Amino acid sequence: MEHSGMLHHTWNSSYIALSFLIAALASYISLELAGRAGRNLRNAANRFWLVAQALVLGYGIWAMHFVGMLAFEVKAAVQFNALLTGVSGLAAALFMYPALLILHSGTFNLRRLAGAGSVAGLGIVVMHYLGMYAFRVPGTTVDLAWLPLIGSLLIAVGASMAALFLFHRLSGQWRTQQSRLKVVGLQMAASAVMGVAIIGMHYTGMAALKYRVADELALGAAAAGADTSLLGLVVSVVSFLLLGLAVTSIFMDAGRGGDLDELDFDAASTGAAAD
Reported as a single tens digit per residue, the pLDDT across 186-220 is: 888 888 888 888 898 899 998 888 888 776 655 55
d(CA 272, CA 105): 12
CA distances to 52, 55, 170 from 59, rounded to whole Å, are: 10, 6, 21
- Global pTM? 0.78
Q: Give the model confidence (pLDDT) of 12-41 as tens digits.
A: 898 899 889 888 888 888 887 777 666 566
Cβ atoms < 10 Å from Cβ of 261: 9
The C-alpha angle 94, 234, 132, rounded to 5 degrees, equals 50
223 pLDDT tier (thresholds 50, 70, 90):
low
User: What are the sequence ranges of the domains in the chain?
Assistant: 11-260
d(CA 98, CA 55): 12
What's the pLDDT score for residue 78? 75
Burial class of residue 28, CB neighbours in 10 A (0-12, 13-18, 19+): buried
pLDDT (average), residues 146-150: 91
